[in-house]
Amino acid sequence: MIIRKKEHWFKMLFVWHGSVLPRLLPRLILLFVLSLGVAYLHGIIFSFKIPLNPAPLTLFGFVLALFLGFRNNVSYDRFWEGRKLWGALLNVARSLTRQTLTLKKRKDLSSVSEFIQMLSSFIFALKHQLRKTDSYDDLKQRLDEEKLELVMKAKYKPIVLMRLMAEWVQKAKDEGEIDTIQQARFDENLDKLADIVGGCERIVSTPIPYSYRVLLHRTVYIYCALLPFGLVDTLDWFMPFIVIFVAYTFVAFEAIADEIEDPFGTEANDLALNSMCHMIDETMHELAGEQIITSQKPVQNIID
């Protein structure tokens, strides 16, 4: 994810990095060439004048803008739900860490550290599962060899780590370090972790219906291809520039919706999962009284 400071309105007109424009540029250039051809031929193809005028295109463009707005709202809802789930993950991680540090009768630092490391591993394992990347390096830093081997064999690694944390809680109960009520409080937060994993998996495994995406995609590009024929008689050689501006608006809206539909990816405007994982890891270790070294990145042009 790219995070920028608020910039001057004039500078924002020329922002390149983090914009969808680089991806759209080849398509817009192709449409610009088509518009130049239509302007040169005055809308005549093989001696046939394409009978289009701005009126139907204006009406159709208004309807298309409504559908694009709905498409973007659906994608942003998925993006915001993903952000709320990771915000809830931060809260639950802090609560579990606090419970581990304060509810145990015996101050067994190695046991406490073991739970915090499993919880930290859970967070990184969830990130890698959502992004379909290899979690070995992150988990190796936090788990002993026995647990690492067990987790790496699993398909759903966060779920296995939740089981290991539940076993840790049960062991603490059996050894008298926590009572039944305290165990129930631990279980409540572990259940919340399960809900968070399920919510993230729901977003990843349930994309926007493909037929709907195809219909909107085709409609946008057909509309943009017909636009030069409807405007050539009124705008003449100025028409290609107006067409490019309108096409950029419609095509960019579609591209942004596609990009944030899966908020857990690695594109420029997806959620900053790397930064969030490290921030949650740091806040847990700080609660445990460990000194942390925070690497401060400049706010300008942060890429995650």
Question: Rounded CA gap, 136 and 138, in Å?
Answer: 6
Question: Rounded CA gap, 115 and 299, in Å?
Answer: 33
42: left (phi over 0), alpha (psi -120 to 50) or beta: left
Q: What does the pLDDT look like over 238-261, one tens digit per residue?
A: 999 999 999 999 999 988 888 889
Strand-pair partners of 3: 302
**In terms of pLDDT, which residue wins out, 156 or 105?**
156
Place of tokens 């005028």: 53
Report the range of poorest mean pLDDT among 26-30, 41-45, 114-118, 201-205: 41-45
Q: Quote the tokens at residue 268.
A: 């420029």
- Long-range pairs of 138-142 with CB within 8 A, sequence gap ≥ 24: 142/117, 142/118
Radius of gyration of the chain (CA): 27
Report the range of poorest mean pLDDT among 49-53, 77-81, 114-118, 125-129: 49-53
Q: Which residues contact 162 (CB under 8 A, 6 or more apart)?
A: 122, 190, 193, 194, 197
Residue-level pLDDT at 198:
96
Q: What does the pLDDT look like over 73-120, one tens digit per residue?
A: 999 999 999 999 999 999 999 999 999 988 766 556 678 889 999 999
pLDDT grade for 297, boundaries at 50, 70 and 90 = very low
- In this prediction, what percent of the chain has a pLDDT beyond 90? 58
Question: Rounded CA gap, 69 and 121, in Å?
Answer: 39
- From the number of C-beta atoms within 10 Å of its C-beta (0-12, 13-18, 19+), residue 106 rates as exposed
Question: Rounded CA gap, 11 and 102, in Å?
Answer: 51
Contact 61, 246 (CB under 8 A): yes
Residue-level pLDDT at 181:
92
**The model's pTM:** 0.85
Is the pLDDT at 29 greater than 70? The verdict is yes
List of E strands, the chain: 2-3, 44-45, 48-49, 302-303
Question: Rounded CA gap, 264 and 80, in Å?
Answer: 11
Total Cβ atoms within 10 A of residue 285 = 17
Q: Quote the tokens at residue 107.
A: 């101050």
